[in-house]
Amino acid sequence: MRSYVRTMMLILVLVVVGFLAGGPTEARAQSPRPVLVLDPGHGWNNGAGLIDPGEVSGDLVEKEITLDVARQTRDLLSRCDVDVHLTHDRDDYNHTENDIADIVNGLDPTLAVSIHTNSSDTTASGTEAWYTVGGYDDTSSQALAAILAAGVADQFAIPNRGAKPETQNPLGGLYIHEWEAPSVLLELAFLQADAELLRTERRNFARAIARVLLSSVNVPLDCADHATAEGFAIAVYFPEEERINAVTLLNDGLLPWEPGEYSLVNTHNPLGAPESLPLPQVVQAGEMVTWDAIPAKAPETAGIHRQKWQLYKGDTPLGDEATVIVIVVPQQAVDLKEEIEHKIDELRQQGQQHLEEQLELLRQQIMDAVEQKLTEWLTDAFHKICGGNSAVVGLAAGLVFLKLRKKRRSND
Ligand SMILES: [Zn+2]
């Protein structure tokens, strides 16, 4: 009997242990997305009710650079299968530096990176990264610090000042010490010697950080692949006139584009252009590529036509469509053509802002001109045919006019 009880107890214990073990195992089997936390250095309450700007050098303010780079890193990472959080997304009066550990730990990160800029009254240049000593996971922290410093320094060919233990920091220790994840404090570059990079290359700082973080959580970098259309081509044509246009795309991802893998595909209104055009050269991340010999033959119909292009990798479209806008004015409407050419110069300077509204106004102007010309021509013709019977002429011209009104909605 006693052995029976003991056996039952043992079974009960095994069941309970099995149940407890089952919980976390099942949770792990669902493989949750890695959680990446970015802490834009400074921009928090300095403890006296003011925002701490960090270091300032000329027009460069540390908290503005770190927030911009953190946001852009999030922008790149959010295209991928990871969760990204910033400890703050604007000046944060509600927290001081001492509160950041609570924010980070509350997010239960897989990895956490604090982003700062360095400052020196010497000519010091380059990137360094600090790791924890006696923190949550010093080994992973040190490894992450080493590849972050190398990744950022390599991006710009500036000195890699390497991974450094927080105990060597003049402050004696760093606020990443309390973070419950492999954590690094990254000093992007120096506000003085590297000022130009920090002013103009923030997207590429973000690329370098995003590459290292994705690699560290085993997410392939092609998840962030993206083409951004740079401006648009626009010109005024007579019917059936042919022109050569250019389309420019920015490689806004993390990997180079290789010829053979990528092509520019016509997705709308070929207007005599080929179905697809090969990538002309290798395009590094952050670089632009231009296809400068894209033909477009204007249709016969006056109005606004759009030839559209999209970058494809194999069968997968990537990012923005690029548009070639073909404005067709009636044959021989030389004055109208000149007037519209003047207006599209202004449009080019404005960029994409209000482009569609402006194009709609131009389209109406062209259609008005077409209607006016047609009505004049028809009135003349009917006068000849009907011998001046003004009622019949008016009725016929009116019918044609109404038909045109219906058609003027069409626009591609
Ligand atoms: Zn700082």
The CA 61 to ligand 1 mean position distance, Å, reads 10
The CA 157 to ligand 1 mean position distance, Å, reads 22
The CA 116 to ligand 1 mean position distance, Å, reads 4
**Which pLDDT belongs to residue 390?**
60
The reply to whether CATH 2.60.40.10 applies to domain 227-407 is yes
**Which pLDDT belongs to residue 387?**
63
Give the number of other Cβ atoms within 10 Å of residue 404's Cβ: 14
The CA 42 to ligand 1 mean position distance, Å, reads 6
Structure tokens belonging to residue 191: 């506000």
pLDDT digits (tens, 9 = 90+) for 300-315: 999 999 999 999 999 9
Assess whether pLDDT exceeds 50 at residue 19: no
The CA 335 to ligand 1 mean position distance, Å, reads 60
Assess whether pLDDT exceeds 60 at residue 62: yes
**Which pLDDT belongs to residue 391?**
62
The CA 253 to ligand 1 mean position distance, Å, reads 28
**151-167 exposure pattern, b = at least 16 Cβ within 10 A, e = fewer:** bbbebbebbbbebbbbe
Write the secondary structure of 28-41 as one string of H (helix), E (strand) and C (coil): HHCCCCCEEEEEEC
pLDDT digits (tens, 9 = 90+) for 96-108: 999 999 999 999 9
**Which pLDDT belongs to residue 370?**
82
The CA 55 to ligand 1 mean position distance, Å, reads 7
- For the ranges 247-256, 258-267, 343-352, 379-388, the lowest mean pLDDT is seen at 379-388
Assess whether pLDDT exceeds 60 at residue 23: no
The CA 1 to ligand 1 mean position distance, Å, reads 71
Tokens 């990895």 correspond to what residue? 111
The verdict on ipTM greater than 0.85 is yes
Band (pLDDT 50/70/90 cuts) for residue 70 is: very high
d(CA 301, CA 129) in angstroms, rounded, equals 62
The CA 311 to ligand 1 mean position distance, Å, reads 40
The mean of the pLDDT values for the chain is 88
Can you tell me the mean pLDDT for 49-60?
Answer: 97
Residue 126's nearest CA partner among 59, 200, 39, 191 is 191
Task: Judge whether 132 and 176 are in contact, CB under 8 Å.
Answer: yes
Can you tell me the mean pLDDT for 333-345?
Answer: 90
Secondary structure of residue 274 in the 3-state scheme: coil
The CA 411 to ligand 1 mean position distance, Å, reads 54
The CA 105 to ligand 1 mean position distance, Å, reads 20
What is the amino acid identity at position 380?
Answer: D
The CA 54 to ligand 1 mean position distance, Å, reads 5
Write the secondary structure of 196-218 as one string of H (helix), E (strand) and C (coil): HHHHHCHHHHHHHHHHHHHHHCC
Assess whether pLDDT exceeds 50 at residue 153: yes
Of the candidate CATH numbers 3.20.20.70, 3.40.630.40, 3.40.47.10, 3.40.50.460, the domain formed by 32-223 belongs to 3.40.630.40
The CA 53 to ligand 1 mean position distance, Å, reads 9
Find the distance separating the first CA and the last CA of the chain, reported in whole Å: 88
Task: Judge whether 144 and 136 are in contact, CB under 8 Å.
Answer: no
Alpha-carbon radius of gyration of the chain? 32
The CA 199 to ligand 1 mean position distance, Å, reads 16
The CA 119 to ligand 1 mean position distance, Å, reads 9
d(CA 200, CA 322) in angstroms, rounded, equals 25
> Domain boundaries in the chain?
32-223, 227-407
**Which pLDDT belongs to residue 299?**
95
pLDDT digits (tens, 9 = 90+) for 399-411: 555 555 555 555 5
The CA 155 to ligand 1 mean position distance, Å, reads 21
